[in-house]
Amino acid sequence: STPELQLDQKPPLHTLISSHDLEEVASRTISKKAWAFYSSAATDCITHRANCETFDRIWWRPRVLRNVQSACTKTRILGVESSVPFFCAPAAMARLVDGEGEKGIARACAKAGVLQCISTNASFPASEICASVPSHPFFFQLYVNKDRTQTDRLLKSLPSTIRAIFVTVDAPIAGKREADERVRADESLSTPMSGAKAKNDKKGGALGRIMGGYIDPGLCWEDMKWLRSITSLPIVVKGIMSVEDAVMCAEAGIDGIVISNHGGRNLDGAPPSLRTLLQLRLARPEIFRKMEVYLDGGIRRGTDVLKAVCLGATAVGIGRPILYALNYGEEGVSHFIEIIRDELEVAMKLVGITNLGQTSLECLDLGEVET
Ligand code: FNR
């Protein structure tokens, strides 16, 4: 179908009032290839579903008569001011849905005071994305290259507005994403990538696998020392799925972790992120004082954001919903950010708190989640 026709099928943005609405519209109006790449998850999608569903098993313990006329959602992430305790998770190839790709996301984030983590596999070089909103701070997600000199060069080339490095460790190889595999990545893929060279796989195959060929599956704990030696920026390890590895990060002097299973895209059956966060909070509460802990996977509502923060997360990352919102360009991302910010503010007031410093386990009823 022609682009005009696709546009016609999109309802006006203001009629979409939740992340679910934006997802539904994206499912029928973005290209098959983009939908397959963005929405897919590993094999039976058990972890992907559980990421979302686990939030529904935690109840609130709302308190009343607490004067909730106004509520403040501001926080700091690694010392960087943020208007909300959520950020844009790194995701490859935003240009598959919108020509401005990550630059559109950047402009929407900058307007709203939200932080964006730029992927190594973004559709534009980080310098270009950062230049689209001069002086706005960013984070950079790193996939370590088998050729370490390339990684060294990449880190040295980053603009000064990058404030932290998120090194992804849950994807030494790409998972088997069947929706993505069914849409064969062929020569018609016209979206250029930076950072990674999209080698054309003779067998066709999934975008994730083609893109990830340069990632070093040999990466290990020793390499975190090497990474520390080549950058002075804070280092966050993204893709922690166990209490043990969270503790090892703290002991290694890492500045933060993202509890994440890559949105269920790699190992199906990996624990839902919220479960791991809860286990860490209950078993090792002191870890949260040693480093910042973030979570991503399954955040679709402001209430999800607040539940994770009550469990000790400084902030959460949001992946797919931002890409679905980008279906409406920069404006769509702005609209989405405002939806989640508003839902968060409403949830805070109804729980009986007016700033994020008041979040705690006391706000939650964990009766129905087993750890
Ligand atoms: C991702 N994710 C990801 N992570 C990363 O570290 N580097 C990357 O390049 C990508 N690319 C990517 C592409 C797409 C299309 C998706 C959906 C995800 C994972 C991402 O950062 C995050 O962990 C999950 O998306 C979080 O789950 P939700 O919010 O999508 O449920």
The per-residue pLDDT for 187 is 42
Q: Which atom of ligand 1 is nearest to the CA of 170?
A: 6
Q: Which atom of ligand 1 is nearest to the CA of 318?
A: 29
Name the catalytic one among 14, 48, 262, 335: 262
Tell me, using a 6 A CB cutoff, whether residue 40 lines ligand 1. Answer: no
Q: What is the 3-state secondary structure (H, E, C) of 121-177?
A: CCCCCHHHHHHCCCCCCEEEEECCECCHHHHHHHHHCCCCCEEEEEEECCCCCCCCE
Tell me, using a 6 A CB cutoff, whether residue 262 lines ligand 1. Answer: yes
Compute, in angstroms, the gap from residue 254 CA to the centroid of ligand 1.
21
Tell me, using a 6 A CB cutoff, whether residue 89 lines ligand 1. Answer: yes
Which of 289, 283, 293, 330 lies closest to 133, judged by CA? 330
Mutation test residue for ligand 1: of 119, 214, 258, the one with most atoms within 8 Å of CB: 119
Which of 121, 109, 229, 92 lies closest to 161, judged by CA? 109
* 3-365 is classed CATH 3.20.20.70: yes
| Interface predicted TM-score of the whole assembly (ipTM), two decimals | 1.00
Smallest CA separation from ligand 1 atom 1, residue:
91
The per-residue pLDDT for 200 is 40
The per-residue pLDDT for 9 is 86
Residues in the chain with pLDDT < 70? 1-8, 184-205
Q: Which atom of ligand 1 is nearest to the CA of 320?
A: 30
Q: 165-199 pLDDT, tens per residue?
A: 999 999 999 899 998 888 865 545 545 555 444 44
Instruction: Kindly give the residue spans of alpha helices, DSSP state H, lying in 212-361.
Output: 221-230, 243-251, 273-283, 287-290, 302-310, 320-325, 329-351
The residues, any chain, with a CB within 8 Å of residue 280's CB and separated by 6 or more, are 243, 246, 259, 287, 288, 293, 312
Q: Domain extents for the chain?
A: 3-365
| Angstrom distances, CA of residue 348 to CA of 72, 275, 341, 342, 359 | 9, 22, 11, 10, 9
Compute, in angstroms, the gap from residue 59 CA to the centroid of ligand 1.
27
Tell me, using a 6 A CB cutoff, whether residue 151 lines ligand 1. Answer: no
The per-residue pLDDT for 201 is 41
Q: If phi over 0 gives left and psi between -120 and 50 gives alpha, with beta otherwise, what is residue 147?
A: beta
User: Has 48 been annotated as catalytic?
Assistant: no
Q: Which helix (H) or strand (E) holds 317?
A: strand 315-318
Tell me, using a 6 A CB cutoff, whether residue 272 lines ligand 1. Answer: no
The rounded distance, in Å, linking the Cα atoms of 20 and 128 is 31
The rounded distance, in Å, linking the Cα atoms of 229 and 227 is 5
Smallest CA separation from ligand 1 atom 25, residue:
319
The rounded distance, in Å, linking the Cα atoms of 363 and 130 is 38
Q: Could you tell me whether strands 59-60 and 364-365 are parallel, antiparallel, or unpaired per DSSP bridges? A: antiparallel
Smallest CA separation from ligand 1 atom 6, residue:
168
Q: Print burial letters for 18-45: b (CB count within 10 Å at least 16), e (below 16).
A: ebebbbebbeebbeebbbbbbbbbbeeb
Q: Which atom of ligand 1 is nearest to the CA of 121?
A: 9
The rounded distance, in Å, linking the Cα atoms of 196 and 126 is 12
Tell me, using a 6 A CB cutoff, whether residue 298 lines ligand 1. Answer: yes
The per-residue pLDDT for 203 is 44
